[in-house]
Amino acid sequence: MKPELIPVNIIIGDRSYRLKIEPSNEELVRKTIKLINDKIVEFKTSFAGKDMQDYVAMVLIWFAMEQNKTGEDLIRTEETINKLAALELMLDKALFNV
């Protein structure tokens, strides 16, 4: 059975949007919207004279880059785990073959 969706009003870059979300996602959605709006303010401060669409686009690019970093971090973590497992195997062989 699908969970009941609740309506929420959000504002991104001076525009209001009405979404329907799962109640369990409400806090995450609100925190994400706050982060987006905080980044818009940050970009407004750094790049004066642009319009709101430019700032929203900048935030979108930043957000996408952050997602890629997360993926890269996961790959690096997996590579590190594999290297540590190989090192552990080598140490076990060295200790038990003495």
Which residue segment(s) compose the domain that 60 sits in?
6-96
- Helices within the chain (DSSP H only): 26-46, 52-96
Rg of the chain in Å (alpha carbons)? 22
Q: Is residue 33 part of a domain?
A: yes
Q: Is the pLDDT of residue 38 over 80?
A: yes
The domain tally of the chain equals: 1
Q: Is residue 63 part of a domain?
A: yes
Q: What's the start-to-end Cα distance of the chain, in Å?
A: 60
Q: Which two tokens stand for residue 82?
A: 């594999």
Confidence of residue 79 (pLDDT cuts 50, 70, 90): confident
Q: How far is it, in rounded angstroms, from Cα 96 to Cα 43?
A: 59
Q: Is residue 1 part of a domain?
A: no
Q: Is residue 73 part of a domain?
A: yes
Taking residues 12-30, report their average pLDDT. Answer: 93
Q: Which residue has the higher pLDDT, 84 or 8?
A: 8
Q: Is residue 66 part of a domain?
A: yes
Taking residues 18-41, report their average pLDDT. Answer: 93
Q: Is residue 55 part of a domain?
A: yes
Q: How far is it, in rounded angstroms, from Cα 98 to Cα 93?
A: 9
Share of the chain above pLDDT 90, in %: 54
Confidence of residue 3 (pLDDT cuts 50, 70, 90): confident
Average pLDDT of every residue of the chain: 87
